[in-house]
A and B are shown apart, each in its own frame.
Chain A
């Protein structure tokens, strides 16, 4: 198994709150990796640090064999990590198609000069970007809404659009922050199929999710965070039986006092 991402002793503190302490984990190429834990355990913070939105206080990420830049989100995207958000953050005033095209920005080469002069290279590149964006909308199943302003899409479709936009950055690692939040059983089922398809197409997936059934059904391995610390990391069946995990979720163990 080839290692895609290695997090080494990541720490992040907000004032008096140690949101992450010494979190180390390894994600292998091609797997679906779940990151679970009770509310406030630091899952989203981990995503934010990983994608460069926050600068970690300590530790480093090694992605594809070299260190990731911290605090420069667009450079992390360029390296091949894309994400979605727990609370949907589309470009609300842009159409679905434009959202996906914006995601493709980092993979296009035309510069200011090319855009201003509209030379052949730029036009060709723009045409390919449009084509690719349509394909991705189709991939997530919302191509019929290509020209709809994204704030007018239904909740489930907005979630799909976020995934399409993230895929447009051509990631090797796709980080999904609670993709099933607020979805009904049917929608969650479709989402599961979509994530499996993404994995099948060679993209490694990191998943934050509360829907235990989804996590256990999808993930190859699962890490559990509690109060900013990793308390378990294994295949779902083993993690499910881990006492520390059960304690963290049910409020027992050392934190109950």
Chain B
């Protein structure tokens, strides 16, 4: 019998907030099955967050053909606004139940991000709607820098410890497999939001107007749809999802920072492309698949490379996937149309 080896994955999270949390355990030898399940759970957790963010990318792309690179930073604003609210509430009403506190913080973050999304569209993107594609794309990158800089001015350059209002003490549903209550909340919370979004888009009149607008702005408006309102609404919903994703992300890793939106934003974009950008189901699938692949990659990269690379190189996998998808299946897993809009 080989001795049971427990390898603690490099935390590295002070350098990169997307790196693996340090409770993550990789078991070698006897615990192959446990490791597998563990990586799957980790992948589902981070994948759900990616999926929520990817939905914002894909909705905006679907309706405008615009890749809103500032979307990741909306997530950061959500996380930091929630942090600010929680800090405020802790000072004002220390006896408040953590769950109530978190709900209020989440609500404030959602509202602020929705306003941000609305403003972004109104001020930066609307007037570029008929401009060549490159103009709004570059503007989006500019908005991203702007948001980061504003956040840096408000919240400073430091990493903030994120309050753990939901317990992060790992549970062990199966011997050797760990999951924290925060992670359970993330999985179910994002699943609920995704179902809600699908119902909104497929079963309501606003969703119908969104799909009509995505197909053809001009015709939709000639059929009586106020397309400006629909586009603004799309940004608002995407930003609201990003706010939730930001709080989830920061809660999971216990840390928040003005630049924290960049990496998950980029990965969620990858997820959206992987699923087929413009396609809601694709964004969800892409997010989960990316999360799982990344998690397995992080778990096994050390073994695969005989110790040459450790798990802090897990980001390789996301971008490897992006490259492969763009080469071999540019329309993504579920996508059909990609560049039919200019």
Residue A247, interface by CB 8 Å: no
A17 vs B318: C-alpha distance in the bound complex, in angstroms?
A: 52
Could you say which residues of chain B place their CB within 8 Å of the CB of A52? 221-222
A231 vs B228: C-alpha distance in the bound complex, in angstroms?
A: 38
Decide if A94 touches B212 in the complex (CB within 8 Å): yes
Residue B205, interface by CB 8 Å: yes
Could you say which residues of chain A place their CB within 8 Å of the CB of B200? 115-116
The answer to whether A74 and B205 touch (CB under 8 A), given A89-B216, A102-B212, is: no
Decide if A102 touches B206 in the complex (CB within 8 Å): no
A98 vs B218: C-alpha distance in the bound complex, in angstroms?
A: 17
Residue A108, interface by CB 8 Å: yes
Could you say which residues of chain B place their CB within 8 Å of the CB of A110? 205
Main secondary structure of the interface of A (DSSP, over half): helix
Name A106's closest neighbour in chain B (CB-CB): B224
Decide if B205 touches A82 in the complex (CB within 8 Å): no
The answer to whether A103 and B224 touch (CB under 8 A), given A73-B218, A108-B205, A112-B233, is: yes
Could you say which residues of chain A place their CB within 8 Å of the CB of B204? 115, 118, 126
Residue B22, interface by CB 8 Å: no
- Digit string of B212-226 for contact with A (CB within 8 Å is 1, else 0)? 100110111111111
A169 vs B212: C-alpha distance in the bound complex, in angstroms?
A: 14
Could you say which residues of chain B place their CB within 8 Å of the CB of A116? 200
Residue B209, interface by CB 8 Å: yes
Residue B211, interface by CB 8 Å: yes
A:144-183 near B, CB below 8 Å: 165-166, 169
Decide if B205 touches A105 in the complex (CB within 8 Å): yes
Residue A77, interface by CB 8 Å: yes
CB contacts between A and B, total, < 8 Å: 81
B230 CB to nearest chain A CB (Å):
9
A82 vs B222: C-alpha distance in the bound complex, in angstroms?
A: 7
A:16-53 near B, CB below 8 Å: 51-53
Residue B148, interface by CB 8 Å: no
A91 vs B230: C-alpha distance in the bound complex, in angstroms?
A: 16
Q: Give chain A's interface residue range (CB within 8 Å of chain B).
A: 20 to 34
Name B336's closest neighbour in chain A (CB-CB): A93
Decide if A102 touches B222 in the complex (CB within 8 Å): no
Decide if A98 touches B208 in the complex (CB within 8 Å): yes
A162 CB to nearest chain B CB (Å):
10
Residue A92, interface by CB 8 Å: yes
The answer to whether A93 and B215 touch (CB under 8 A), given A102-B209, A105-B205, A115-B204, is: yes
Decide if B222 touches A73 in the complex (CB within 8 Å): yes
Q: Which of B208, B211, B224 contacts A74 (CB 8 A)?
A: B224
The answer to whether A89 and B219 touch (CB under 8 A), given A98-B208, A110-B205, is: yes
Name B217's closest neighbour in chain A (CB-CB): A73
Name B219's closest neighbour in chain A (CB-CB): A89
Decide if A74 touches B221 in the complex (CB within 8 Å): yes
Decide if B218 touches A101 in the complex (CB within 8 Å): no
Given contact pairs A78-B224, A101-B208, A102-B220, a sample of 7 additional A-B residue pairs in the complex whose CB atoms are under 8 Å apart: A82-B223, A82-B224, A102-B209, A105-B224, A105-B225, A106-B223, A115-B204
A residues adjacent to B (C-beta < 8 A): 51-53, 73-74, 77-78, 82-83, 85, 89, 91-94, 98, 101-103, 105-108, 110, 112, 115-116, 118, 126, 129, 165-166, 169
Q: Could you list 26 A-B pairs, sorted by A, with CB under 8 Å?
A: A52-B222, A73-B224, A74-B224, A77-B224, A78-B224, A82-B223, A89-B219, A91-B211, A91-B219, A91-B220, A93-B211, A94-B215, A98-B208, A101-B205, A102-B209, A102-B225, A103-B224, A105-B212, A105-B223, A105-B224, A105-B225, A112-B233, A115-B206, A126-B204, A126-B205, A165-B223
Query: Top 10 nearest A-B pairs by Cβ distance?
Result: A106-B224, A77-B224, A73-B221, A102-B212, A89-B219, A73-B222, A74-B226, A91-B215, A115-B204, A91-B212
